[in-house]
Amino acid sequence: MVITGVGLAAPNGNSLAEFRQNLLNGKSGIRKFDVRYMGEVIAGVCDFDPLKYQKKKELRRGTRAGSTAIYCAQEAVADSGLDFDSLDKSRVGVFLGITEHGNVDTEKQIYEIKQYDYDTRYVSHHYNPRIVANNPAGEVTLNMGITGPHYTLGAACAGGNIGLIQGYQMLLLNHVDVALAGGVSETIHAFGAFASFRSEGALASHEDPTKACRPFDRDRNGVVVSEGGCVFVLERLAGALARGARIYGEVVGYAMNSDAFDFILPNAEGQARCMQLALKMAGLSPSDVNLISTHATGTPQGDPQECQAIRQVFDGCPNTYINNTKSMIGHAMGAAAALELAGNLPSFEDQTVHPTINIDNLDPDCALDNLVFNEPRKVGRIDYILNNAFGMLGINSTVIVKRLENSS
């Protein structure tokens, strides 16, 4: 299965080219943002033009996640060069990872009915179609006339990887010929995630928002919540070659597993096993991997767990480089893994690893060999990228993508 199109909305870019350039330049997309009940918080906010693909009425009726997913799916299809109008739309599927969905409109409805002394007659008739869990993927099908399967995959912060894996599996099962797969999040438009992370002592704070997300730095103090989306066009290699498609890379391995350890805390053992399973599926040795795109979110407790897992699996691999995208875009929740993979795919071509920013004092516990930080590094040929994404309730995911000779 190969990736032949990328569409994305990130806090620092509305196309892969713009996103990649900003990642290479170490440009953060994090800023101050007002949230109901909490006031000013630090967040990653997207500024794509939703009216590029939607009418005002569609925007009014749908959700932010739906709108983001539509933008990303349309951009991905345009990028893929597929003649979408002539495709059999019943053979196209939409599979989007989400961390959660529905909170934004639920919070909004409760706010609305509060103005009417909690009279539930004022709950919008649009509420149900907005909060059903398939909403973001379903809005894509309505917008694009897709009649194949669509659904979301609730997978906490591993969502973006899981969406991609689902697309792979649906292609493998021959249920679809084109998978629009990735992840999306509208989380910043409700107070819940910010407030709960704060109560956990895991919400990032810094007087300069662009410095708030600092994975692996000694002074990291939590998560920066972001919105965003990323959709890949995934298709079978033979079909992509037959139509002369530009191929970003081939998905050659993946794994998903569970820690069975804790509601919130990550676990190095489970993460290491996940990476090993993905390597096994791909038939690779650890030293074959040239770039590890880490999940690290910038929490004091979480980052060292992933570092420990990486040391356990990749000890003695001098050609394996490591970076982190969240330092520039925050944690885009359901979209995170897909965005982080997308931002690294161009390294197959430019042979450069984008940096992790905001490391002023590298935490000794996180001082991985070949961690690329503060400046991009030209490292030579990159053949395999390994993309990690982990989430609450101990969900782990790893995807491995291979460079093809005709890669873009």
* CA 217/CA 311 separation, integer angstroms: 17
Q: E-assigned strands of 139-293?
A: 150-154, 178-185, 225-226, 228-235, 249-258, 291-293
Max CA distance (Å), the chain: 64
Q: Look up 354 and say whether it is catalytic.
A: no
Chain positions 57 to 76 lying near another protein, rule: CB under 8 A, are 57, 60-61
Report the residue number, 121 or 378, with the smaller CB distance to another protein.
Answer: 121
Report the residue number, 129 or 330, with the smaller CB distance to another protein.
Answer: 129
Select the residue interacting with another protein from 116, 145, 172, 381 (CB under 8 A).
Answer: 116
Tell me whether strands 249-258 and 395-402 are parallel, antiparallel or unpaired: antiparallel
Q: How far is the CB of 150 from another protein (least distance, A)?
A: 20
Report the residue number, 60 or 378, with the smaller CB distance to another protein.
Answer: 60
Main-chain phi, psi angles of 110, to 5 degrees: -65, -40
Contact 50, 14 (CB under 8 A): no
Helices 336-344, 159-172: axis angle to 10 degrees equals 80
Chain-centre distance for alpha carbon 356: 16
**Which among 82-90, 122-130, 336-344, 356-364 is the span making contact with another protein, rule CB under 8 A?**
122-130
Residue 323, SS3 per DSSP: strand
Report the residue number, 57 or 378, with the smaller CB distance to another protein.
Answer: 57
Contact 373, 357 (CB under 8 A): yes
**Residue of 101, 150, 189, 295 with catalytic role:** 295
Q: Look up 331 and say whether it is catalytic.
A: yes
Contact 278, 255 (CB under 8 A): yes
**Which among 53-61, 85-93, 187-195, 296-304 is the span making contact with another protein, rule CB under 8 A?**
53-61
Q: Pull the structure tokens for residue 356.
A: 């992790």
Q: How far is the CB of 148 from another protein (least distance, A)?
A: 24
108 near another protein, judged by CB under 8 A: no
Report the residue number, 125 or 378, with the smaller CB distance to another protein.
Answer: 125
Q: How far is the CB of 51 from another protein (least distance, A)?
A: 10
Tell me whether strands 228-235 and 178-185 are parallel, antiparallel or unpaired: antiparallel
Select the residue interacting with another protein from 37, 111, 122, 261 (CB under 8 A).
Answer: 122
Select the residue interacting with another protein from 31, 126, 198, 236 (CB under 8 A).
Answer: 126
**Which among 12-20, 118-126, 268-276, 298-306 is the span making contact with another protein, rule CB under 8 A?**
118-126
Closest CA to 387 of 270, 274, 259: 274
Residues that bind another protein (CB under 8 A): 55-57, 60-61, 116, 121-122, 124-126
| Residues forming the active site | 157, 295, 331
